[in-house]
Structure 1
């Protein structure tokens, strides 16, 4: 069994208001830096192989009017 230890203090007031929530989010912004945007390179259709669709999924999509008609 793992012994989980909580480091730091746990806030006693779990019913904080919107102002407190916005302040918490503002303090976390530096930790949420977006990753560098990666643009995928196009792949030749001849290199795409081995894709299979389960029969149940194919039937489900076939039964949907947006896809099957």
Structure 2
């Protein structure tokens, strides 16, 4: 589906740096919907049943650094 009301966005500036990124975010902010209510709190781990993670995904996540090195 094509949105004819809004013009096409400007192409991303890959070399613009932080100022360009902040400008892109400022232009996008009006398009983001605000949730009508706060999200529900996370479920207690004791309530989660039947969750399975494929071994390859578990190894991939285990290999990731928590905060980047």
Where on the TM-score scale, by shorter chain, does this alignment land: which range? Answer: 0.3 to 0.5
State the TM-score, normalized to the length of structure 1.
Answer: 0.36
- Structure showing greater radius of gyration is 1
Q: Looking at secondary structure, tell me which structure has more helix per residue.
A: 1
